[in-house]
Amino acid sequence: MPRLGSCQVPTAFRTTLEFTLSVIESPPYETPARSTAPPRHRRTALRASGLLVAALTLLTVAVLSMAVGAKPIPPSEVWHALTDRDAAEYAVVRELRLPRTLLGLLAGAALGVAGAAMQALTRNPLADPGLLGINAGAAAAIATATALFGLGGGTGQVWFALLGAAVVTVGVYAVGGGRAATPARLALAGAALNAALYSYVSAVMLLDAAGLERLRFWTVGSLASADTGTVLRVLPFIAVGLLVALVAARPLNALALGDDAAQALGARPAVARAGVIIAITLLCGAATAACGPIVFVGLLVPHLVRVLTGPDLRWLLPYCALLAPVLLLGSDVLGRVLGRPGELQVGLVTAVVGGPLFLALVLRTRTTRS
């Protein structure tokens, strides 16, 4: 075979990716060696202060998200524009950018936490709500609702999205192999469901031109249509989902050791698993209903965060809740900058940014195996 042509290109490509990855990746679910870990109280202090840094980063990105747009506002003016009714930018910031930023925060947190919970639940580093078809399930449900009942957003959309997400979550988990699933098997089951659901969504759109007009924008994944109503509608679902996920963190930690070990440690695997599935459904369904299917956020953030926190979900989940919105809002801001005078949908940006990282992750996992 033509060695030169076919091996040098990917090698160069891979080296770049691997470099990126070597910075961000640590082996998942591996307990850090005792000898290198700082004493317990110091570690806790470190992690807590890290959480503070993460929160500050998020605040910065949120301010950026309010500042950047068709009409740029200097970051220093943002507060003024937000609070002073007489400020020239009050309407823009209050009506458009604030809801958009809040939605980004909520959806990002939801996707990040759902991804982390899912990776823990399936013991599978490649689990992601988008890759496993859960977002597509929500999309299919919404497409059906739009075509059949002429549903145009609103609370109804959230309920349908939740229904679709729930069906697919349970389906992928049960069908894709549950606890016994290998990464490849689960990813494949998800990809197959993805293909099936999107082909269904296409068929529905084909029959309904008005639906197509609305759905084609929604299926990319975008924060652009956010308004205060949307934010308020998804807020309760995401809040409950986050709460359930955080409560489930401890039993999930035990589950990571295997069902038998978890039971020996006093956890109830069935209850914990049901709780986590409910949390994932709420989080993914609500996020997808509000901004459309967004891939890779739920996959990448937990991997990045695991480097900082290790595998302990009690820390991992809060970090994900803070840092996933950084990625989502950051991508959104990037889309607004790159797409001028219009904007690039955030779903496209996360796909293009996240995709190569996913590939790097895949290649990386495989070398360590042999």
- Binding-site member from 68, 143, 145, 189 for other proteins (CB under 8 A): 189
Q: Which stretch binds other proteins (CB under 8 A): 8-16, 36-44, 46-54, 261-269?
A: 8-16
148 binding other proteins? (CB under 8 A):
no
Which region, judged by CB under 8 A, interacts with other proteins, from 97-105, 153-161, 216-224, 272-280?
216-224
* Size of the residue set binding other proteins (CB under 8 A): 62
Residue with tokens 């091996």: 7
| Tokens matching residue 136 | 């597509």
Beta carbon of residue 279, minimum distance to other proteins (angstroms, whole number): 23
Give the nearer residue to other proteins in terms of CB position, either 75 or 152: 152
Tell me the DSSP string of 157-173. Answer: HHHHHHHHHHHHHHHHH
Chain centre distance of CA 295 = 7
Nearer to other proteins, 105 or 220 (CB): 220
Contact 29, 309 (CB under 8 A): no
CB of 136 to other proteins, least distance (A): 9
Cβ proximity of 113 and 245 under 8 Å? yes
Residue 200 within binding range of other proteins, rule CB under 8 A = yes
Nearer to other proteins, 24 or 363 (CB): 363
Environment class of residue 315 by beta-carbon count within 10 Å: exposed (0-12), middle (13-18) or buried (19+)?
A: buried
Beta carbons within 8 Å of 150's beta carbon, 6+ residues apart:
210
Give CA–CA dist 199/339, Å, rounded. 28
Distances in Å between the Cα of 119 and the Cα atoms of 166, 182, 191, 299, 302 are 17, 12, 16, 8, 8
* Contact flag: residue 73 with other proteins (CB under 8 A): no
Q: Which two tokens stand for residue 363?
A: 């290649």
Binding piece for other proteins, criterion CB under 8 A, among 46-54, 66-74, 218-226, 282-290:
218-226
Least Å distance between CB 250 and other proteins?
Answer: 30
Beta-carbon contacts of residue 3 (< 8 Å; ≥ 6 apart): none
| % helix, strand, coil for the chain, step of 5 | 80, 0, 20
Of positions 205, 320, 321, 334, contacts other proteins by CB under 8 A: 205
Q: Binding to other proteins by residue 234, rule CB under 8 A?
A: no
Residues of the shown chain interacting with other proteins in the complex, contacts defined by CB under 8 A: 1, 6-7, 9-10, 13-14, 126, 130-131, 171, 174-177, 183-185, 187-189, 191-200, 202-203, 205-207, 209, 212-213, 216-217, 219-221, 295-296, 344-345, 347-348, 350-352, 355-356, 358-359, 362-363, 366-367, 370
